[in-house]
A and B are shown apart, each in its own frame.
Chain A
Amino acid sequence: MTAVAACGADDSLCRAQDGDPDAFAVLVEEHQAIVYGIAWNFFGDRWLAEEVAQDVFLQLYRFLGTIRSRSHLLFWLRQVTARKCIDALRRSGPKRISLADVDVPVNPTVSDPLIARRLLSVIASLPKMQRIILTLRYQEDLGPAEIGEMLGMPENTVKSYLHRALQALRKEVGGDS
């Protein structure tokens, strides 16, 4: 029998893999802003974002034993969330809740809330691949190569989507190249 090293008290991933539900709850809390953020920025719909985010963590719970490290966990969460967003869009209902209709607080640190709302509105109208790539690029600060690996597409394809998305945004809201 192989001796298994005990998990450190601060190692929530290890403890969760050992079957500690409180440790899994800590993992959820540590990463919920990433997962929910990707879904929220993609859909602009809290119900859809929550549904996808919950599904991602449920799937994480199911496949916890396959996670090799913290960095792998981060990659896995981003990848699964992105893919679930794309898959869910077809079946989720086409209408994103308009920001004009609901009281969605724009991040209080943005320089101009009106521009922010306009940007979000335009982002909502972009095709889904442009939208998810924009979100991964600017929310998670990922480069085209990482995004390509995550979504299973060549780096140049990611760059092309990014270019088109930024072009569309500049056309709608202005801004320097």
Chain B
Amino acid sequence: MNIESELKEVLRRTDPPSGFGDRVMRRVRADFSRPAKAGPRTRYRALAAAALIAIALGGWGVHATLRARSDLMVAMRIASQKVAQAQHQVNRR
């Protein structure tokens, strides 16, 4: 067996689950109003938006909040995986 050939076979480019493009565009539409070209007007708008967000966050900060959102999804994924795993193993009895 030539391991490098096998690796080229198994480590292929993979399409995401169906609807991926739609999900990306939903997030794009939800998070942005227009593409951010790296120009001064866009930077000022981004700063103003960040300031408003920071005020709305009540002191947590943008980074902490985005981190919390990510943590939430991670936690729910782990919890759901464990519950579903247990259910599955119970039913396989």
Contacts and interface: CB of A to CB of B under 8 A. Distances in A.
* Chain A–chain B contact at Cβ < 8 A: yes
> Chain A interface secondary structure, helix, strand, loop or mixed?
helix
B8 A138 contact: yes
B90 interface: no
Interface string A97-117: 100010000110111000110
B35 A175 contact: no
A66 B42 CA distance: 13
Nearest to A93: B78
Contacts of B6: 110-111, 115-116, 119, 175
B58 interface: no
Interface residues on A, range: 35 or more
Interface in A117-161: 119-120, 123, 134-135, 137-139, 141
A176 B78 CA distance: 39
Interface string B9-31: 11111111100110111011101
Interface string A1-24: 000000000000000110101001
Contacts of B11: 41, 123, 134-135, 138-139
B27 A54 contact: yes
Contacts of B39: 65
B27 A58 contact: yes
Nearest to B31: A58
- Between B28, B32, B38, B85, the greatest number of chain A beta carbons within 10 A of the residue's beta carbon is seen for B28
Given A16-B35, A53-B20, A176 B1 contact: yes
B3 interface: yes
25 contacts: A17-B35, A25-B21, A28-B21, A32-B21, A36-B16, A41-B14, A49-B16, A50-B16, A50-B17, A53-B20, A54-B24, A64-B36, A64-B37, A65-B39, A107-B12, A116-B6, A116-B10, A119-B10, A123-B11, A137-B7, A139-B11, A169-B7, A173-B3, A175-B2, A176-B2
